A and B are shown apart, each in its own frame.
Chain A
Amino acid sequence: MIDRLNPRSRRDRYGSRINRDHSPLLAYSIPWLTILFGSLLPLIPIASAIPLVPPTGLLFLVAWRLVRPGLLPMWAGFPLGLFDDLFSGQPFGSAIFLWSVVMLAIEGVETRFPWRSFYQDWLVATLLVGAYLVFAAIFSGADIELSVAIVLIPQYVLSILVFPLVARIVARLDRFRLWRVRSVR
């Protein structure tokens, strides 16, 4: 009796390789859908006092962009930002502009620092989200006073702390995205 040496030899981390392949629909729709979902997430809590919920749509965009460069096209900030603007309470155009700039900025950072590590990603996200929160507050049309500026700090800290979690979720979704579900004949 000859056993197969390794029962998983015909599988990779995305499932069986025999007769199965990635589904393009799944592979390309998951990033967009998670970012759109992230834009809707801050609506759920009724926060009357201060803006406390991290800009989850942007966090998902940054996480996907850093984990899979080239998966989202360069212009992805425009349609995704447009959707975010419909719900975020910011003046229309604020996220379109800022998210497009974020995409360009990440491209610049990647050209300058081509190394890859999670801590580098976290640092990039920290800087970008900080700049985003400040400019979003400026563009929001609110009177910028000291009280408004101070209130941004807890939201910023929370955003930084939440980014590793978002990155883990994106990593999981990335594996799910490439799951071999399509049968090849």
Chain B
Amino acid sequence: MAPPSSRRSGHSRRAQFSQFTGYVVAGIGALVGAVLLGLSLWQPTLFGGLRGAASDVTVPVAQANGAARAESLGFIESVQGYLRAGRQNAALKEEMELARIRLAEAAAVKQENRRLKGLLRLQEDEVRPVAVARLVASTAASTRRFAYLAAGSNDGVRVGMPVRSPRGVVGRVLEVARNSSRVLLLTDSESVLPVRRAQDETVAFAEGRGDGRLRIRLINLGINPLKVGDVFVTSGAGGYYRPGIAVAVLSQKTEDGGIARIISDPAASDFVSVEPIWQPAAAIGANTAPDEAFGEDGSAQVEPAESTAEPAGSAEVQTE
């Protein structure tokens, strides 16, 4: 049945005009939206301030929610633990024995390392995290993979800093507001990370595929030396990430590399730490076009976060 035509404006001029105005305003709204969209695709950081202010407002609420999420995850895990306790106990005991032996060996190696480093007069520099905070929210409905971190410029977080969990790399800071920041996760399709195989010097790029896995693209093409189960760590190229942080495990081989699962799933990590940029000068150098001059203090003329054009083999691509 057709509805009563109460919404039809009939002969009333006023009603006709107001309906027409509605269409026009909606059309203008769509046009303005299209222009804004074009602008923000062209200059991704343009509306970062607005977004930052908005996320600053929501972070306190999200933080409580993040704590609740972590607790519920822990609860599920402990229930699972009870179900598998017996079998797991036996397996763990065996593993423990082996681990004790390895630990003793590792202690010996560490001792030797310290002695050799002492001979070479190398400084043992420990990286202190800039901030430790919760991942409080993520863009779960959008194709882009961002997460929001409950620490911002007030805590010393700056654009470009690597974010890691105890297990491995999570992503990199993309936008900073006062008390919150936006993190580009490794799984985002615009994220590129220089990695190497853990046991040798096979270097590659780990690119997000947008479906939760990473594509490992070897730099030196030829016979693909990768095997399923290979672990990839950051190589330190580009200067953003310090080398040797776990990134991904290869799960499938392809012609020019493979598909890998990430080691540090942000959904499973409660607290993450923001680390300083490993080699700021190198990071700036990687973002500087070859014909551009470096400043006196080693800083280039361009802001590192702004530029999108990068020479091949540099750090993560910064485009949004």
Chain A interface: which size bin? 35 or more
Contact across chains for B212 and A94 when beta carbons are under 8 A apart: no
Write out, one digit per residue, whether chain A residues 82-99 have a CB within 8 A of any chain B CB (1) or not (0).
000111111111111111
Tell me which of B29, B40, B145, B190 contacts A48 (CB under 8 A): B145
Query: Can you add 7 more A-B contacts, CB < 8 Å, to A103-B26, A148-B210?
Result: A46-B147, A92-B40, A115-B1, A141-B41, A142-B189, A147-B211, A148-B211
> A99 to nearest B CB, angstroms?
8
A28 to B257, CA, bound (A): 57
Q: Does A126 contact B (CB under 8 A)?
A: no
Q: Does B35 contact A (CB under 8 A)?
A: yes
Q: Does A74 contact B (CB under 8 A)?
A: yes
Residues of B within 8 A of A155 (CB): 141
Contact across chains for B210 and A143 when beta carbons are under 8 A apart: yes
Contact across chains for B26 and A74 when beta carbons are under 8 A apart: yes
Residues of B within 8 A of A31 (CB): none
- Residues 33-58 of B at the A interface (beta carbon under 8 Å): 33-41, 44, 46-47, 50-51, 54-55, 58
Q: Does A47 contact B (CB under 8 A)?
A: yes
Contact across chains for B7 and A70 when beta carbons are under 8 A apart: yes
Contact across chains for A141 and B27 when beta carbons are under 8 A apart: no
- Known A43-B137, A96-B37: A89·B210 in contact at CB below 8 Å: no
Q: Does B62 contact A (CB under 8 A)?
A: yes
Tell me which of B58, B142, B319 contacts A136 (CB under 8 A): B142
Q: Does B239 contact A (CB under 8 A)?
A: no
Residues of A within 8 A of B29 (CB): 75, 77-78, 96, 100
Q: Does B65 contact A (CB under 8 A)?
A: yes
Residues of A within 8 A of B33 (CB): 77-78, 81, 93-100
Q: Does B103 contact A (CB under 8 A)?
A: no
A89 to B47, CA, bound (A): 12
Write out, one digit per residue, whether chain A residues 55-83 have a CB within 8 A of any chain B CB (1) or not (0).
11000000000000110011101100100
Contact across chains for A47 and B210 when beta carbons are under 8 A apart: no
Give the 8 A-B CB pairs with smallest separation, nearest first: A49-B212, A89-B139, A93-B36, A96-B33, A97-B33, A93-B37, A78-B29, A74-B22
- Known A47-B267, A115-B1: A140·B40 in contact at CB below 8 Å: no
- Residue among A69, A104, A150 with most chain B CB within 10 A: A104
- Residues 111-136 of A at the B interface (beta carbon under 8 Å): 114-116, 136
> Interface of B with A (CB < 8 Å)?
1-3, 5, 7, 22-23, 25-30, 32-41, 44, 46-47, 50-51, 54-55, 58, 62, 65, 69, 135, 137-148, 185, 187-190, 209-213, 262, 265-267, 319-320
> B191 to nearest A CB, angstroms?
10
A91 to B147, CA, bound (A): 15
Contact across chains for A87 and B58 when beta carbons are under 8 A apart: yes
- Residue among A92, A116, A152 with most chain B CB within 10 A: A92
Residues of A within 8 A of B2 (CB): 114-115
- Known A46-B267, A115-B3: A90·B144 in contact at CB below 8 Å: yes
Contact across chains for B3 and A43 when beta carbons are under 8 A apart: no
Contact across chains for B189 and A86 when beta carbons are under 8 A apart: no
> A29 to nearest B CB, angstroms?
19
> A107 to nearest B CB, angstroms?
8
> A8 to nearest B CB, angstroms?
27
A108 to B2, CA, bound (A): 16
